[in-house]
């Protein structure tokens, strides 16, 4: 449409208008409105200081001199200062604010009698020798503010398809009437007077794509049920405002505090931490959200064109913002990577001591570790993940009590879940024998699992505490506590295994003792750090209160799908390379949850996209690493030539798996942070069991490709999983997710519908 209806040099002309913009004889509000319109239409990328300089440079010279003596931090600040200077310069009574005059009965307004003029003729205040002429009534001898005639024209602003503001005036049939007591009477017939200023919120409302479509359609005769006046959009007599955290502020501004204007509204937004800043992106709509607008005509050509061109013109962060987001992500991820490496080291120490006990002990211990991960630790970890979205979003919204309550509820759930798992571990020996396992290995495995039950209950406290700290961007204590736990793990193993001769029981007990130390360290930090002051009086009050055990449904709905997703993840927990995408996943989950809880959907989306980009980079680094060590990696574990050849042959396929594994792991983190673990679980189940498993069976067994065929099935599953994750994230309506997040933690800002004079449009 731009090519068809706009001149070829349109962009240059618009920019030239901005460069030559001057206030001249206009009011400060008029100049400010046009300034914001031209800045928005030229997509000017300047710093706040440069915008202030451009704004001040267009004002009158006497204003410029005074304003340059102040420290101006924003255009809004300069605008308020200029308004004060304008009032001082004018030194005349303020004009009556525009609004809708609607009086059910005649209203009498006192007016000063002048002379002995006829009562029905407005008196002439000043004749003098001046040739001044009233611009309201057109008669000479007095000025506009002295005129006793009411406005004979209702003025309304309209925005054409190019965004040009025009004023439309329509005269009224009845003039003001003066009674015998020289009182100005306004009768019932004059109730439709609609006047107003230049519409300081015009740019703000026009920034919304749906409002833009209607405003553009009005100029072409479309949307007959709507009209625009005073810079606001109306449907009939109802004011249309966006359905967002901003709308309540706008309504309050209009009905309680008076009209403070766009710049003051932006200043209020910037000062109010619960509202999005004035830089928050507004063009973030998914097609399903747009389809909710019943008033919009999808057949309208302008609407369709706007949706094609504007729907996906999403906020593009600057390079500085991208770098800052990467720093924030890796501020969380790097300590988690180190923590993962420390935990990996603890598992390696346990396997080392199992190997020292003999071949059967190593086999039985390895079997028991696998059973413990699948039937116990994965379930505990997955259930704990259910609190991640609630905790991170509550932190973003500064709802500390909800965080503490979620911590206690999750801990209680994990303790209850540990009881049936413990019973299973105590009776695992007959189950293994029934499956045909060697009796000696079964006995060793059952012994290890029985002595690992205390570790299971310790994990029921550790997992919620780790998530509780990480969602507050506190990761250094986790790393230091894991380092301390690792430092004592080897000595405890040596003491129990070789000095007390406890064998496999000693290895299980050493792991439990190491995790007990980790639990004590995290508990001490939580108790004696600044977190204790923040949650003073809340922790024990909440956990002993009956309300702690209410409303479990939401937490369980988030926790149960996380178990399914985490089972597949923890099967790879022994992989060294998995530590890196896993840490990034935990970091982006925290960042997305924090930003959604703070009602910053644009920043949440930015964090998710940057995390996906980092994950793709990690995948290629993993490929490079695995291809480099493919011929030597197997030699770390064995000297068997056949195994070494098979390992080297499969390593390239395993390396390719990381290209899908890293993005899908980061995508899982985004979905957890936005409280959608069921989506992650469904994608994992469909990819691995619906795609990967059949391909692995066909290629590995039917086509007799062996181990390489099994890995090709895994590769197919990883690729499908990554593609589905990216597809879901690209289709995400982040504004709606911010709404859901605040509802999840009990902050409901949606309109109750009690005010029938306001029409609410969702999706701002």
Using one digit for the tens of pLDDT, what is the confidence trace for 323-365?
888 888 888 888 888 887 887 777 778 877 877 777 777 777 7
User: Looking at the domain assignment, is residue 760 inside a domain?
Assistant: no
Comparing 14-23, 516-525, 592-601, which segment has the lowest mean pLDDT? 592-601
Q: Are 91 and 69 in contact (CB under 8 A)?
A: no
C-alpha to C-alpha distance for 625 and 580, rounded to whole angstroms: 13
Find, among 748, 602, 653, the residue nearest to 280 by Cα: 602
Asked if 359 and 259 sit in the same domain, the reply is no
Q: How far is CA 294 from CA 297, 638, 762, in A?
A: 8, 68, 11
User: Looking at the domain assignment, is residue 400 inside a domain?
Assistant: yes
pLDDT in tens, 191-248: 333 333 333 333 333 334 445 566 667 766 777 777 776 556 666 655 565 544 444 4
Backbone angles phi, psi at 701, to 5 degrees: -105, -50
Asked if 216 and 189 sit in the same domain, the reply is no
User: Looking at the domain assignment, is residue 329 inside a domain?
Assistant: no
Which pairing describes strands 177-178 and 153-159: parallel, antiparallel, or unpaired?
A: unpaired
Structurally, the chain folds into a number of domains equal to 5
Backbone angles phi, psi at 186, to 5 degrees: -110, 115
Instruction: Give the domain-ending residue among 534, 555, 574.
Output: 574
Q: What percent of the chain shows pLDDT beyond 90? A: 2
Asked if 239 and 268 sit in the same domain, the reply is yes
Q: Are 400 and 597 in contact (CB under 8 A)?
A: no
Over range 394-406, report the average pLDDT. Answer: 79
Question: What is the domain range of residue 693?
Answer: 584-732
Asked if 624 and 694 sit in the same domain, the reply is yes
CA 234, 238, 240 angle in degrees (round to 5)? 55
What is the maximal distance between C-alpha atoms in the chain?
122
pLDDT at 97 > cutoff 60: no
- DSSP, res 96: P
Q: For residue 251, what pLDDT is reported?
A: 46
Over range 509-519, report the average pLDDT. Answer: 89
Asked if 610 and 495 sit in the same domain, the reply is no
Over range 534-552, report the average pLDDT. Answer: 44
Residue 83: pLDDT band (50, 70, 90) is confident
Asked if 413 and 385 sit in the same domain, the reply is yes
Comparing 55-69, 262-276, 447-461, 556-570, which segment has the lowest mean pLDDT? 556-570
Q: How many CB atoms lie within 10 A of CB 658?
A: 27
Asked if 552 and 444 sit in the same domain, the reply is yes
User: Looking at the domain assignment, is residue 334 inside a domain?
Assistant: no
Q: For residue 236, what pLDDT is reported?
A: 63
Asked if 541 and 396 sit in the same domain, the reply is yes
Q: For residue 423, what pLDDT is reported?
A: 92
Asked if 507 and 589 sit in the same domain, the reply is no
Comparing 146-160, 293-307, 567-581, which segment has the lowest mean pLDDT? 293-307
C-alpha to C-alpha distance for 160 and 168, rounded to whole angstroms: 12
User: Looking at the domain assignment, is residue 759 inside a domain?
Assistant: no
pLDDT at 122 > cutoff 50: no
Q: For residue 144, what pLDDT is reported?
A: 57
Q: Are 417 and 383 in contact (CB under 8 A)?
A: yes
Which pairing describes strands 226-229 and 232-235: parallel, antiparallel, or unpaired?
A: antiparallel
CA 125 to chain CA centroid, nearest Å: 61
Residue 137: pLDDT band (50, 70, 90) is low
Q: Is 22 exposed, middle or buried (0-12, 13-18, 19+ CB in 10 A)?
A: exposed
User: Which position has the token pair 């396929």?
Assistant: 653
Q: For residue 648, what pLDDT is reported?
A: 75
pLDDT in tens, 733-764: 777 787 777 777 665 444 333 332 333 333 32
Comparing 44-48, 127-131, 473-477, which segment has the lowest mean pLDDT? 127-131
C-alpha to C-alpha distance for 718 and 686, rounded to whole angstroms: 11
- Please tell me which residue, 321 or 151, carries the higher pLDDT value: 321
C-alpha to C-alpha distance for 69 and 533, rounded to whole angstroms: 44
Asked if 83 and 127 sit in the same domain, the reply is no
pLDDT at 545 > cutoff 60: no
Asked if 450 and 512 sit in the same domain, the reply is yes
Over range 724-738, report the average pLDDT. Answer: 83
Asked if 539 and 673 sit in the same domain, the reply is no
Residue 167: pLDDT band (50, 70, 90) is very low
pLDDT in tens, 609-639: 888 888 888 888 888 888 887 777 666 655 6
Q: For residue 280, what pLDDT is reported?
A: 35
- Please tell me which residue, 416 or 403, carries the higher pLDDT value: 416
Q: For residue 107, what pLDDT is reported?
A: 40
Q: For residue 457, what pLDDT is reported?
A: 92
C-alpha to C-alpha distance for 397 and 745, rounded to whole angstroms: 9
Over range 461-481, report the average pLDDT. Answer: 87
pLDDT at 75 > cutoff 80: yes
User: Looking at the domain assignment, is residue 551 inside a domain?
Assistant: yes
C-alpha to C-alpha distance for 355 and 358, rounded to whole angstroms: 5
The string over 671-693, giving b where at least 16 C-beta atoms fall within 10 Å of a residue's C-beta and e elsewhere, is bbbbbbbbbbbbbbeebbeebbb
């Amino acid at each position: 449409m731009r090519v068809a209806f706009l001149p070829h040099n349109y962009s240059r002309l618009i920019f030239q208008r901005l460069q030559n913009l001057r206030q001249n004889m206009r009011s400060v509000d008029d100049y400010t409105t046009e300034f914001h319109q031209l800045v928005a239409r030229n997509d000017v990328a300047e710093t706040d200081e440069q915008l202030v300089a451009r704004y001040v440079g267009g004002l009158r010279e006497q204003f410029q001199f005074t304003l340059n003596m102040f420290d101006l931090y924003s255009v809004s600040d300069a605008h308020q200062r200029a308004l004060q200077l304008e009032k001082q310069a004018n030194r005349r009574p303020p004009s009556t604010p525009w609004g809708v005059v609607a009086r059910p009965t005649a209203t009498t307004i006192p007016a000063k009698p002048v002379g002995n003029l006829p009562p029905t003729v407005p008196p002439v205040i000043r004749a003098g020798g001046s040739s001044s002429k009233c611009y309201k009534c057109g008669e000479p001898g007095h000025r506009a503010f002295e005129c006793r005639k009411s406005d004979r024209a209702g003025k309304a602003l309209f925005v054409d398809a190019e965004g040009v503001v025009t004023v439309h005036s329509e005269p009224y049939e009845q003039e003001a009437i003066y009674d015998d007591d020289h009182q100005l009477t306004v009768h019932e017939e004059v109730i439709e007077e609609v006047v107003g200023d230049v519409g300081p919120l015009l740019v703000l409302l026009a920034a919304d794509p749906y409002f833009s479509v209607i405003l553009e359609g009005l100029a072409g005769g479309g949307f007959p049920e709507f009209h625009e006046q005073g810079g606001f959009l109306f449907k009939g007599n109802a004011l249309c405002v966006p359905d967002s955290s901003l709308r309540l502020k706008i309504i309050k501004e209009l009905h309680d505090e008076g009209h403070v204007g766009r710049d003051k509204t932006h200043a209020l937004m910037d000062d109010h931490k619960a509202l999005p800043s004035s830089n928050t992106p507004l063009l973030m709509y998914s097609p399903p959200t747009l389809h909710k607008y019943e008033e919009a005509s999808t057949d309208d050509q302008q609407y369709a064109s706007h949706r094609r061109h504007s729907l996906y013109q999403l906020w593009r962060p600057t390079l500085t913002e991208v770098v800052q987001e990467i720093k924030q992500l890796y501020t969380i991820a790097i300590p988690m990577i180190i923590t993962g490496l420390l935990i990996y080291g603890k598992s390696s120490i346990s396997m080392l001591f199992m190997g020292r006990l003999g071949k059967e002990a190593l086999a039985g211990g390895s079997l028991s570790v696998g059973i413990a991960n699948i039937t116990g630790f994965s379930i505990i970890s997955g259930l704990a993940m259910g609190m991640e979205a609630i905790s991170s979003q509550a932190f973003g919204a500064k709802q500390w009590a909800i965080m503490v309550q979620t911590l206690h509820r999750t801990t209680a759930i994990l303790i209850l879940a540990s009881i049936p798992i413990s019973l299973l571990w105590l009776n695992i020996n007959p189950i293994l024998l029934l499956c045909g396992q060697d009796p000696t290995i079964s006995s060793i495995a059952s012994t290890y699992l029985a002595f690992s039950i205390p570790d299971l209950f310790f994990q029921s406290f550790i997992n919620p505490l780790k998530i509780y700290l990480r969602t507050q961007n506190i990761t250094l204590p986790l790393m230091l506590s894991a380092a301390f736990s690792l430092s004592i793990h080897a000595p405890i193993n040596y003491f129990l295994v070789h000095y007390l001769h406890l064998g496999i029981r000693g290895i299980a007990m050493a792991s439990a003792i190491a995790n007990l130390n980790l639990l004590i360290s995290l508990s001490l930090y939580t108790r004696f750090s600044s977190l204790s002051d923040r949650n003073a009086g809340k922790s024990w009050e909440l956990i002993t209160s009956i309300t702690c055990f209410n409303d479990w449904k939401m937490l369980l709905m988030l926790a149960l799908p996380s178990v399914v997703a985490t089972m597949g993840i923890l099967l790879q927990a022994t992989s060294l390379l998995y530590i890196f995408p896993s840490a990034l996943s935990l970091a982006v989950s925290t960042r997305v949850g924090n930003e959604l809880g703070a009602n910053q959907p644009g920043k949440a989306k930015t964090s998710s996209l940057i995390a996906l980009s980092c994950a793709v980079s990690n995948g290629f680094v993993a490929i490079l690493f695995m291809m480099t060590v493919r011929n030597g990696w197997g030699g770390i574990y064995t000297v068997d030539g056949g195994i070494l050849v098979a390992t080297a042959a499969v390593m390239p396929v395993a390396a390719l798996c990381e290209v899908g594994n890293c993005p899908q792991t980061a995508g899982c983190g985004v979905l957890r942070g936005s409280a959608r673990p069921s989506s992650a679980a469904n994608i994992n189940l469909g990819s691995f069991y619906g795609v990967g498993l059949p391909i692995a069976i066909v290629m590995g067994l039917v086509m007799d490709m062996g181990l390489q065929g099994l890995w090709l099935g895994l590769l197919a599953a990883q690729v499908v999983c990554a593609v589905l994750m990216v597809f879901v994230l690209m289709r995400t309506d982040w504004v709606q997710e911010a709404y859901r997040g605040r509802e999840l933690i009990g902050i409901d800002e949606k309109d109750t519908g009690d005010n029938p004079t306001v029409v609410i449009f969702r999706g701002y």
